């Protein structure tokens, strides 16, 4: 999208913090809520595109007591977990590389809350003003406060409001894999040696404690929390219901990625869990371009994944 469109959209959205609560597999109830605007027979859902969601443990518990019919109110009642995690959403802009068309992407950032950041600072003692587990050139939250907020993950999105279409360019996290890498590096040092690199001041024991007691809560679900928040943002904040997601091949060709490919599972397993289906259709803002015409001539049909919410 054009930079001025992205800036206008960012300015038009409500200011302030947007809290987003998440627990493992919450997306299954979210997608069913989108698919069930009125009461429907469960048997009809078993023959629909969201049938795979019915096998999730929390959904199976709900189906066992719903008398064969699922309603919005039942889904609302089932949505909640006392052990959920609270995140803070923020919106940024990206004008760098790896975009499917020229212009600008919106960036939805999934940031940790104080329940993570305060004990993290106590354990790992990050250098003031430093974001230790995110790469500088990536689109994380730019927070210059002394007690800054840290970004767990982000998604980059291209949007066409007029057509009601969006393309999820990527879902990514530096934080989890870099925190693990730094802890492993520290574990190779002599016991008790203080690590004074990577913007932290901690030994291997402190880093291990952070990994076991704080990071573990997020590491196993950051990808689905990020994609779930992205769908929430697109559908409930922007009113967009036709959402595309790259396949490994379309992402590589359209974003001109030659090296350092994003983990394949983020373009295969993750969207599959969310009921995206493969299609040879593309968002209109891409399908009309000469570049796509050239790629189709060279490689045949370009396949993406699509979800109607």
pLDDT in tens, 189-245: 887 777 767 889 888 999 999 999 999 999 999 999 999 999 999 999 999 999 999
pTM attached to this predicted model: 0.95
The whole-number pLDDT of residue 83 equals 93
- pLDDT tens-digit profile of 89-114? 999 999 988 999 999 999 999 999 99
Bridge partners (DSSP) listed for residue 151? 111
Q: Is 158 left (phi over 0), alpha (psi -120 to 50) or beta?
A: beta
- Distance between CA 289 and CA 164 in Å, rounded? 18
Residues 256 and 291: their CA atoms lie apart, in Å, by 12
- Per the listing, tokens 């299609």 go with 279
């Amino acid at each position: 999208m054009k930079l001025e469109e992205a800036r206008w959209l960012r300015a038009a959205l409500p200011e302030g913090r947007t809290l987003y609560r998440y627990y493992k597999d919450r997306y299954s109830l979210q997608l069913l809520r989108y698919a069930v605007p009125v009461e429907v027979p469960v048997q009809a859902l078993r023959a629909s595109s969201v049938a795979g969601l019915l096998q999730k443990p929390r959904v199976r518990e709900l189906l066992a007591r719903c008398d064969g019919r699922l309603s919005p109110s039942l889904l609302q009642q089932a949505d909640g977990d006392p052990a959920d995690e609270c995140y803070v959403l923020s919106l940024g802009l990206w004008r760098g590389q790896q975009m499917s068309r020229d212009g600008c992407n919106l960036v939805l950032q999934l940031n940790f809350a104080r329940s993570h950041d305060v004990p993290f600072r106590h354990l790992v003692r990050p250098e003031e003003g430093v974001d230790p587990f995110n790469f500088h050139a990536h689109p994380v939250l730019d927070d210059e406060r002394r007690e800054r907020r840290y970004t767990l993950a982000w998604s980059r999105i291209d949007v066409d409001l007029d057509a009601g279409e969006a393309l999820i360019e990527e879902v990514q996290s530096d934080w989890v894999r870099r925190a693990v890498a730094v802890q492993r590096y520290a574990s190779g040092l002599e016991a008790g040696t203080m690590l004074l690199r990577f913007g932290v001041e901690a030994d291997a024991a402190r880093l291990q404690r952070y990994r076991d007691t704080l990071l573990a809560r997020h590491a196993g679900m950051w990808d689905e929390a990020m994609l779930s928040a992205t769908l929430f943002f697109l559908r409930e904040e922007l009113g967009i219901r036709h959402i595309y997601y790259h396949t490994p091949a379309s992402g590589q060709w359209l974003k001109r990625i030659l090296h350092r490919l994003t983990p394949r599972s983020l373009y295969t397993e993750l969207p599959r869990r969310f009921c995206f289906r493969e299609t040879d259709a593309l968002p209109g803002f891409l399908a009309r371009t000469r570049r796509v015409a050239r790629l189709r001539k060279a490689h045949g049909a370009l396949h993406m994944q699509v979800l109607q919410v």
